[in-house]
């Protein structure tokens, strides 16, 4: 029986494992540092308390239950030997396969921005989303208790990066400020909330059409979001951010949606990495020079039909996972592997209640407004891994839509409530003292 070792149980690795699970002549070991798959497209809804973590995380063991030929192992892979198809976890366990599939996904890329790694909130995992939700709730609770904190930026939220994640977050903040906060916090000066979306490009949603970008910008502005386009973030501190035009914005909630790179494992694979720290793969998804080694999804630079790299999207990851499984099957019977062909279903982004943009299919048929909003909800619910999650998400969305009731405004991480509201003053005093 041939053994396939898969690192990473996200869209790519899990789909590869599920497909191979159907074969009785293959044994699969799926290793992930979490014992669940996380559905990143909805993380921003966990961060803004529209959904809870259980709506978007799926136990790998439950998803793969009923497949005795698939073994799930919890562990963080820290080194990879591509020649021998062996990986080692932080705990020292080694796994060796006839085939090795690397699908370890992405992490935030702060591009060396001073203070960003220490003070900004990235949004790539359930853990990130829960920390951010707790920080948002902590500043709201604080400003409700002590309105003077508004002058220290308590109600200023700065989102870095105007791609789909940043735009969706900014829109969700706008809806929260307009609709949700008033109901929940009696003494909060909701009208003083300021939401900034910063991007060095000159439009939000860079991958979309100009029409969609204009619509998205208008919908964001209607929600009170202040767009700072053509501007980058120069520094993130615990109590403020500084923009490239010199503006200083007081905030204790700076959110980083400004870029991605491959997860840190790519640096330990013993090969030269390509753009974004990802592994360059051949058209059949194998890593050149290493027989039986595949790299997938966000962890790989995969070329599309036109030779340009495909974007880091769930659909690319999912399809590459299934394709990899098929190529392994071809390897098993000694037939030539097939070059990956991506079926482009289009792109979509939610801006807020009744406002979304969608570009459907390869020819990018454009939808906007309430139709795109309904399509976004339907597509995202359908993509959720389990039926229970699909139903759960719809119930939460219905509560939110019909009653403006958010699912989980529970401040459960006390460390996020410990905010030093004087840190900006202290920094200024230290700077003045060191000058003197
Ligand atoms: C906030 C956000 C919103 C997004 N929205 C959309 C969207 O609307 N539509 C869309 O198509 N795409 C969206 N994406 C992109 C999409 O989520 C990714 O392209 C997709 O998740 C990539 O799948 P993957 O399997 O390659 O990686 P992942 O899904 O990230 O899975 C990687 C897995 O590897 C595991 N792992 C990492 N390192 C190790 C290690 N060293 N050892 C063991 N396990 C490890 C991780 O725990 C994880 O389970 C979004 C991404 C983010 C962050």
Q: Break the chain into its structural domains and give their ranges.
A: 2-33+75-108+260-332, 116-258+346-428
- Nearest-CA residue for ligand 1 atom 38 is 104
Expressed in angstroms and rounded, the spacing between residue 384 Cα and the centre of ligand 1 is 14
Expressed in angstroms and rounded, the spacing between residue 11 Cα and the centre of ligand 1 is 7
At residue 409, the pLDDT reads 74
User: What distance in Å separates the CA atoms of residue 361 and residue 352, rounded to the nearest whole number?
Assistant: 22
CA-257 nearest atom, ligand 1: 1
CA-263 nearest atom, ligand 1: 38
% of the chain exceeding 70 in pLDDT: 95
Residue 101 Cβ < 6 Å to ligand 1: no
At residue 272, the pLDDT reads 94
Q: Is the pLDDT of residue 429 over 70?
A: no
At residue 156, the pLDDT reads 97
Ligand 1 pocket test target in 13, 40, 349 with most atoms within 8 Å of CB: 40
Q: What's 243's DSSP letter?
A: E
- Nearest-CA residue for ligand 1 atom 8 is 41
User: What distance in Å separates the CA atoms of residue 308 and residue 259, rounded to the nearest whole number?
Assistant: 19
Residue 423 Cβ < 6 Å to ligand 1: no
**Predicted confidence band of residue 400 (pLDDT cuts 50, 70, 90):** confident
Q: Which residue has the higher pLDDT, 406 or 141?
A: 141
User: What distance in Å separates the CA atoms of residue 57 and residue 397, rounded to the nearest whole number?
Assistant: 17
- Nearest-CA residue for ligand 1 atom 30 is 105
Domain 116-258+346-428 in the same topology as domain 2-33+75-108+260-332:
yes
Q: Where are the beta strands (DSSP E) in 314-386?
A: 346-352, 355-360, 365-368
Beta bridge partners of 88: 79, 94
Q: Specify whether 168 is catalytic.
A: yes
CB 86 within 8 A of CB 96: yes
- What digits encode the pLDDT tens for the residues 305-336? 888 999 999 999 999 999 999 999 999 999 99
- What digits encode the pLDDT tens for the residues 91-136? 999 999 999 999 999 999 999 999 999 999 999 999 999 999 999 9
Q: Where are the beta strands (DSSP E) in 86-218?
A: 86-89, 94-96, 99-102, 106-108, 121-122, 156-160, 194-199
DSSP string, 377-408: HHHHHHHSSSHHHHHHHHHHHHHHHHH---S-
CATH for the stretch 116-258+346-428: 3.50.50.100
Expressed in angstroms and rounded, the spacing between residue 155 Cα and the centre of ligand 1 is 30
- What digits encode the pLDDT tens for the residues 20-34? 999 999 999 999 999
Hey, what CATH topology would domain 2-33+75-108+260-332 get? FAD/NAD(P)-binding domain (3.50.50)
Residue 16 Cβ < 6 Å to ligand 1: no
Locate all alpha helices (DSSP H) within 154-248, ordered by sequence: 164-175, 181-184, 210-222
- What digits encode the pLDDT tens for the residues 333-377? 999 999 999 999 999 999 998 999 999 988 889 999 999 999 998
| Closest to 394 in 3D by CA, of 58, 10, 42 | 42
- Nearest-CA residue for ligand 1 atom 35 is 8
At residue 121, the pLDDT reads 96
**Contacts for 77-83: CB closer than 8 Å, 24+ residues apart:** 77/7, 77/31, 77/33, 77/104, 77/265, 78/265, 78/268, 79/268, 80/7, 80/265, 80/268, 80/269, 80/270, 81/270, 82/269, 82/270, 82/271, 82/287, 82/290, 82/293, 83/290
């Amino acid at each position: 029986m041939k053994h396939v070792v898969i690192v990473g149980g996200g869209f790519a690795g899990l789909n590869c494992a599920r497909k191979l699970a159907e074969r009785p002549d293959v044994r699969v070991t799926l290793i992930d540092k979490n014992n669940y798959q996380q559905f990143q497209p909805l993380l921003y809804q966990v961060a803004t308390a529209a959904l809870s973590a259980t709506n978007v995380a799926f136990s790998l063991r439950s998803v793969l239950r009923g497949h005795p030929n698939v073994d799930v192992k919890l562990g963080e892979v820290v080194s990879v030997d591509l020649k021998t198809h062996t990986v080692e976890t932080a705990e020292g366990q080694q796994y060796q396969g006839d085939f090795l599939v690397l699908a370890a996904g992405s992490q935030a890329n702060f591009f060396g921005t001073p203070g960003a790694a220490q003070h900004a909130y990235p949004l790539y995992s359930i853990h990130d989303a829960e920390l951010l939700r707790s920080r948002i709730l902590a500043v709201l609770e604080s400003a409700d208790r002590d309105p003077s904190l508004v002058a220290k930026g308590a109600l200023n939220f700065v989102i870095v990066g105007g791609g789909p994640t940043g735009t969706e977050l900014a829109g969700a903040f706008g809806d929260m400020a307009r609709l949700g906060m008033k109901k929940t916090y009696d003494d909060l000066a909701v009208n003083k909330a300021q939401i900034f979306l910063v991007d060095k490009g000159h439009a939000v949603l860079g991958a979309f059409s100009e029409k969609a970008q204009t619509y998205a910008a208008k919908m964001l502005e209607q929600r009170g979001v202040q767009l700072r386009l053509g501007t980058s973030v120069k520094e993130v501190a615990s109590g403020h951010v500084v923009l490239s035009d010199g503006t200083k914005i007081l905030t204790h909630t700076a959110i980083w949606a400004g870029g991605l790179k491959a997860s840190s494992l790519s640096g330990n694979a013993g090969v030269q990495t390509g753009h974004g720290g990802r592994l360059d793969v051949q058209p059949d998804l194998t890593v050149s020079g290493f027989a039986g080694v595949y790299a997938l999804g966000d962890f790989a630079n995969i070329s599309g039909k036109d030779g340009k790299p495909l974007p880091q999207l769930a659909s690319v990851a999912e399809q590459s996972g299934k394709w990899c499984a098929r190529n392994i099957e071809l390897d098993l019977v000694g037939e030539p592997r097939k070059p990956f062909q991506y079926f482009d279903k289009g792109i979509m982004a939610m801006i807020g209640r009744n406002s979304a943009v969608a570009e459907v299919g390869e020819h990018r048929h454009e939808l906007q407004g309430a139709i795109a909003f309904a399509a976004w909800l339907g597509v995202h619910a359908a993509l959720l891994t389990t039926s229970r999650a699909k139903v759960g998400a719809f119930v939460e969305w219905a509560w939110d839509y019909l009653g403006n009731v958010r699912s989980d405004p529970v401040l459960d991480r006390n460390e996020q409530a410990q905010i030093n509201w004087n840190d900006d003053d202290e920094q200024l005093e230290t700077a003045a003292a060191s000058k003197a």
